[in-house]
Amino acid sequence: MGIFWDDTAVSGAAEHLIASEIKLRAPDLDDDDVATKASALAAAAKGTAATTKFHANRMLVALAFVMAFVGAGIGTEAAGLNNSSKALFGLGSTAFGIIVGIVTGEKPK
């Protein structure tokens, strides 16, 4: 599970559908064999049927933190607090770099 990206794979409901299809096509199999085959097919499908979802709300919260740091830096610079403004601008740029690193690092291939 990622911070900004999530991989959603085949769910338990899909495994149940696979099991019911196997049961329809091969009624002579017992329940253990059906469950084993359904699990194997669902596991094979997890690699191919996975989709990715981008969490825009998490990105907006992260960018709001960056903007808060930059806004505080602007405010402290206007108040004549030079050391504080340098620290807050540095914190804002560091936070932005971390966000960009996480987004590109966990982006689906």
pLDDT in tens, 5-48: 877 655 566 666 677 766 666 677 777 777 777 776 666 666 55
pLDDT confidence of residue 106: 84
**Contact indicator for 63, 45 with CB cutoff of 8 Å:** no
Q: What is the mean pLDDT of residues 72-91?
A: 95
- Three-state SS at 5: strand
Q: Are 2 and 106 in contact (CB under 8 A)?
A: yes
The reported pLDDT for the residue numbered 10 is 55
Q: How confident is the model at residue 77 (pLDDT cuts 50, 70, 90)?
A: very high
